[in-house]
């Protein structure tokens, strides 16, 4: 019994020693591994250094920037007319439809003239009657004048005949005027086109009754169109009659149109303090239509030289504009304020001062970090043999 109990103690002690030894070995391994991962251990890795070539970099340069004044508006025909009824009556005939081309003087509409013809006949009859009365008054006057010279009638009797003659003359003139008005009304019953163009709208149909001054037909001439652009008053001194305007019209894709400033309003618009500029656009082929929307720009004088950078060097994130520079072997993220842009030259005005001569990243790179090691690779001389690749932590950006 005593021997068995002793064996159990020996076995138990042995197991405990094995467990303690295993735990100690594991802790020792962790301590060694941890010490090896430190700065002086074998697992230490140097930080990656970004290397940029001269093609990736740009520097602030003083350059003049092109200036453009944006304009926009709706195209309107320079010449258009709404033909209206000059007399009232029933529309007897409409000879055209929307979209048709008409010539100046061509018949557009005709109003029923039965009443007008009757009125003209009445006026002509009144005129004939007045002329007859005038002839009789003239004879009476001549007779009384002869009798007056022979003292057969008094001066008062002659004056009465003279007055009747004058009244008859006035009556004839009034009747002639009334007859002429009736003729004009009969002529006005026929509506003709005042210009050569295209019918934009037919306002009435045959059989409708129209009143005086009612619209009948609208005709527009598409050969010349006009854009009314609103521009700030401060930019008007740089504009002049004849200045070229480049335009893009909705629906025509990349096709560009050219117009010229034809008129400049002499006063500002109430409330906006802006000025209307009228841009003439030739449309000989008739491709453009009234009411189309146009956007364009007017070239202004170039600015004075100012600090600029390529537009590709400007970054914007979370509403903040910045650039990446390489300073003292590190990447530096610098917040800047930009000004004018010259899209044609691809440059942007920089209003924030940067370190003189500091190279700025002009190409796009991802995952850049402020303070990361960076160097500028010297240009390779093609006449010298390529050197052996270097080992270490240098990474060529791009």
pLDDT score at 149: 87
Residue 374 placed within a domain: yes
Question: Are 291 and 335 in a shared domain?
Answer: no
Residue 45 placed within a domain: no
pLDDT score at 44: 53
Phi-psi region of 60 (alpha: psi -120 to 50; beta: other; left: phi over 0): beta
Question: Are 120 and 189 in a shared domain?
Answer: yes
Q: Which of 300, 331, 355 is the last residue of a domain?
A: 300
Residue 6 placed within a domain: no
The per-residue pLDDT for range 7-35, each reduced to its tens digit, is 555 445 554 455 544 444 433 333 333 44
Q: Which of 268, 300, 332 is the last residue of a domain?
A: 300
Question: Are 231 and 279 in a shared domain?
Answer: yes
Question: Are 324 and 377 in a shared domain?
Answer: yes
Task: Judge contact between 366 and 330, C-beta under 8 A.
Answer: no
pLDDT score at 397: 55
Question: Are 161 and 97 in a shared domain?
Answer: yes
Residue 25 placed within a domain: no
Q: Which residues contact 329 (CB under 8 A, 6 or more apart)?
A: 373, 374, 375
Residue 268 placed within a domain: yes
Question: Are 93 and 196 in a shared domain?
Answer: yes
Question: Are 173 and 231 in a shared domain?
Answer: no
Question: Are 350 and 260 in a shared domain?
Answer: no
The per-residue pLDDT for range 52-104, each reduced to its tens digit, is 888 889 889 888 887 788 899 999 999 999 999 998 999 999 999 999 999 99
**Section 305-314 average pLDDT:** 90
Residue 273 placed within a domain: yes
In the chain, the number of structural domains is 3
**Section 308-324 average pLDDT:** 90
* Top-confidence residue, 304 or 47: 304
Question: Are 238 and 333 in a shared domain?
Answer: no
Report the CATH number that the domain containing residue 320 is assigned in CATH: 2.40.420.20
Q: 3-class secondary structure for the chain?
A: CHHHHHHHHHHHHHHHHHHHHHHHHHHHHHHHHHHHCCCCCCCCCCCCEEEECHHHEECCEEECCCEEEEEEEEEEEEEEEEEECCCCEEEEEECCCCCCEECCCCEEEEECCHHHHHHHHHHHHHHHHHHHHHHHHHHHHHHHHHHHHCCCCCHHHHHHHHHHHHHHHHHHHHHHHHHHHHHHHHHHCEEECCCCEEEEEECCCCCCEECCCCEEEEEEEEEEEEEEEEEEHHHHHHCCCCCEEEEEECCCCCCEEEEEEEEECCCCCCCCCEEEEEEEEECCCCCCCCCCEEEEEEEECCCCCEEEEEHHHCEEECCEEEEEEEECCEEEEEECCEEEEECCCCEEEECCCCCCCCCEECCCCCCCCCCCEEEECCCCCCCCCCCCCCCCCEEECC
Whether this model's pTM surpasses 0.95: no
- Kindly report the number of other CB atoms within 10 A of residue 305's CB atom: 11
**For residues 358 and 52, what is the distance between their CA atoms, to the nearest angstrom?**
13
Residue 317 placed within a domain: yes
Range of the domain at 341: 54-65+305-396
pLDDT score at 23: 45
Q: What are phi and psi of 394, to 5 degrees?
A: -95, 130
The per-residue pLDDT for range 203-262, each reduced to its tens digit, is 999 999 999 999 999 999 999 999 999 998 888 888 889 999 999 999 898 889 999 999
Q: Which of 266, 300, 334 is the last residue of a domain?
A: 300
Residue 48 placed within a domain: no
Question: Are 125 and 104 in a shared domain?
Answer: yes
Question: Are 87 and 192 in a shared domain?
Answer: yes
pLDDT score at 387: 47
Question: Are 93 and 186 in a shared domain?
Answer: yes
């Amino acid at each position: 019994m005593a021997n068995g109990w002793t064996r159990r103690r020996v076995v138990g002690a042995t197991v405990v020693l094995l467990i303690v030894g295993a735990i100690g070995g594991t802790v020792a391994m962790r301590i060694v591994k941890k010490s090896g991962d430190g700065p002086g251990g074998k697992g230490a890795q140097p930080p990656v250094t970004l290397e940029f070539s001269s093609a990736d970099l740009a520097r602030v340069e003083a350059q003049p920037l092109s200036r453009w004044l944006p304009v926009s508006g709706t195209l309107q025909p320079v010449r258009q007319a709404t033909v209206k009824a000059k007399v009232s009556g029933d529309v007897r005939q409409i000879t055209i439809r929307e979209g048709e081309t008409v010539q100046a003087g061509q018949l557009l509409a005709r109003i029923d003239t039965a009443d007008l013809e009757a009125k003209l006949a009445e006026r002509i009859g009144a005129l004939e009657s007045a002329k007859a009365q005038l002839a009789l008054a003239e004879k009476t006057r001549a007779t009384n004048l002869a009798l007056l010279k022979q003292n057969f009638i008094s001066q008062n009797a002659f004056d009465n005949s003279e007055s009747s003659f004058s009244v008859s003359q006035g009556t004839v003139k009034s009747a002639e005027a009334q007859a002429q008005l009736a003729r004009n009304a009969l002529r006005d019953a026929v509506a003709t086109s005042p210009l050569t163009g295209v019918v934009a709208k037919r306002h009435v149909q045959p059989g409708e009754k129209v009143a005086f001054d009612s619209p009948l037909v609208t005709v527009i001439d598409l050969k010349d169109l006009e854009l009314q652009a609103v521009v700030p008053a401060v930019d008007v001194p740089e504009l002049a009659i004849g200045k070229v305007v480049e335009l893009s019209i909705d629906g025509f894709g990349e096709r560009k149109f050219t117009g010229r400033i034809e008129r400049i309003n002499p006063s500002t618009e109430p409330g906006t303090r802006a000025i209307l500029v009228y841009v003439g656009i030739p449309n000989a082929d008739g491709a453009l239509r009234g009411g189309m929307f146009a956007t364009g720009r007017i070239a202004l004088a170039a600015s004075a030289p100012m600090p600029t950078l390529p537009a590709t060097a400007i970054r914007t994130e979370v509403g903040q504009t910045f650039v990446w520079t390489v300073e003292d072997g590190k990447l530096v993220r610098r917040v800047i304020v930009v000004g004018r842009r010259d899209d044609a030259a691809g440059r942007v005005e920089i209003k924030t001062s940067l370190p003189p001569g500091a190279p700025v990243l002009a190409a796009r790179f991802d995952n850049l970090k402020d303070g990361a090691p960076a160097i500028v690779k010297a240009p390779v001389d093609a006449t010298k043999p390529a050197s052996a690749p270097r080992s270490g932590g240098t990474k060529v950006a791009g």
